[in-house]
Amino acid sequence: MDRFTRTLTHATLAGIVLVLAACAPRLVAVGPARGGLVTQTEDTTEVREALARALRARRYVIESEDETALVARLDNRGRTLRIRVDYDAQSYRIAYEGSSGLGYRVDPRTQEAMISAYYPRFVAQLDQTIQAELRRPAEEAREAEEARQEAVAAAAAAEREAELAAERRTARRERRERRRERWAEFAREQQETERERLRTQRAQAEADAERLRRQPPPVFVDHEPVHVERFAFDASRTRGQIRVRRGRTARTLRAHASGRFSSDQLGLPSACPGFWSSEPQHVVTVPHDMDYLRVEIAARADTTLAVVTPEGQVWCDDDSAGNQNPRLEGQFPAGTYAIYVGTYRRDDRTDYTLALDEERVQPAAVYAQRAPAPRRRDPAPHRRAGNQVPDCRTSLLRAGHSATGLTYCRDAEPHCAAALFAAGHGPTALIYCRGVDPQCAVELLRAGQSPTGLTYCR
């Protein structure tokens, strides 16, 4: 072998040695036993249980034990380590017992036991696990206490929630009860209000009935009313279709008449000829007394007109408006009036126009007034020289006096009344015309004497 070859061989061997030296496991001193203090408990049994749990957790097998020590073995990838763990109530110590595959040897120079670096790593890991296991009972106790406290808090919260739910249910029940009480009170108030309204309505109806009883019906010149029971109606329950007011009365309304009941069937007087319907064509409400109102029918066919008061007093007209058209006009007190329009042929439909107006077209022919007592029929008009003398009422109205003075016509001698008004005296002087001789009274008044002198004509 030449020199170059020997040099190359030596260099190669040196490199191999260096590589093997680098790959060889690093050795460290075994060192003294490693351990720590036990502060979590003073019970040796609890310390032993913690050590055993730690050994099992790190995959050690306990080979033997006594009251103060545990001997355990670890098998790890062809390496075996035996350790001894001494313990008491205050501390524990981990000591080396033996091994294989960890390069254990004694350094010839220092006589110090050397071993692979895996050994301190294994011991450190075991020591950490032992510390964790020693803390576990306290941690478990703390966790248990926390869990207990959480359970207690949850139970308290559940109890409080149950109390709140019960309070809410009670509050809802109380609110419902209050609502029921309020509704019941409201219903009672409504019932009382309705009863009061009915009492007021009944009292008003009775007052209206009494007023109507004391109030004479409308007075129609040269006509006498006829009471027809079936024509009576309750004015307080009848709502007027037409509302008449002073100053805004002029209005017309188109309608039609078609009657099937004759005047005889309805009990109407001879002044109400024709055929009538069972219900009025119009209902007129007069809120306030009116000095004059004209009710007139205009139609191509011959029609008749009837005005009815709530107590069943009926007045009729046939041709007062001319051209076979009826008209009723005069001064009407406040009230409700039913208007019937009749025809001369049964079931004959006749179109007409109803006119309500305050404008006078001729001297008033119909008057109505209020009075404290029912009007009695005056004696039949007297006749003189073949001419009919108007009765007291006609004379009063034609003289231009208000219808309120009609009450003074009661028992007044008609010739005396006509002469009294012709002499310019007022209605209050009619009391002197009662029971007088007509010729004496007329001559005395024409002579310009005072009405008080009429007492000499009795």
Which of 200, 270, 265, 205 has the alpha carbon at shortest distance from 233? Answer: 205
Residues 6+ apart with CB under 8 A from 433: 392, 412, 413, 416, 417, 420, 441, 451, 454
Between 78-82, 86-90, 282-286, the lowest mean confidence (pLDDT) is in: 282-286
Residue 152 has pLDDT above 50, yes or no: yes
Does this model's pTM top 0.95? My answer is no
% pLDDT > 70, the chain: 83
Kindly write down the DSSP assignment for every residue of 167-233, as one continuous string. Answer: HHHHHHHHHHHHHHHHHHHHHHHHHHHHHHHHHHHHHHHHHHHHHHHHSPPPEETT---EE-GGG--
- Which residue bears the tokens 């027809």? 228
Between 83-87, 153-157, 167-171, 448-452, the lowest mean confidence (pLDDT) is in: 448-452
Looking at the chain, which residues constitute the CATH 2.60.120.380 domain(s)?
219-367
Looking at the chain, which residues constitute the CATH 3.30.530.50 domain(s)?
25-139
Read off the pLDDT of residues 428-449 as tens digits, 9 standing for 90 and up.
888 889 889 999 999 899 888 8
Q: Between vectors from CA 357 to CA 245 and to CA 219, what angle results, nearest 5°?
A: 85
Read off the pLDDT of residues 358-383 as tens digits, 9 standing for 90 and up.
877 654 344 444 434 343 334 434 44
- What local confidence, expressed as pLDDT, does residue 272 receive? 82
Read off the pLDDT of residues 327-365 as tens digits, 9 standing for 90 and up.
888 777 888 888 999 998 888 889 999 988 887 765 434
- Determine the Cα–Cα distance for residues 327 and 350; give it in Å rounded to an integer: 17
> Residue 422, Cβ neighbours under 10 Å: how many?
13
- Which CATH code, of 1.10.150.120, 2.30.42.10, 3.90.230.10, 2.60.120.380, is assigned to 219-367? 2.60.120.380
CB 358 within 8 A of CB 249: yes
Question: In the structure, what pLDDT confidence band is assigned to residue 79 with cuts at 50, 70 and 90?
Answer: very high
Read off the pLDDT of residues 121-142 as tens digits, 9 standing for 90 and up.
999 999 999 999 998 888 888 8
Residue 264 has pLDDT above 80, yes or no: yes
Which of 110, 86, 149, 139 has the alpha carbon at shortest distance from 31? Answer: 110
**Domain 25-139 belongs in CATH node 3.30.530.50:** yes
Higher pLDDT among residues 61 and 39, named by residue: 61
SS3 string of 358-386? CCCCCCCCEECCCCCCCCCCCCCCCEECC
- What local confidence, expressed as pLDDT, does residue 392 receive? 87
Helix (H) or strand (E) run with residue 119 in it: helix 118-214
- Determine the Cα–Cα distance for residues 389 and 400; give it in Å rounded to an integer: 17
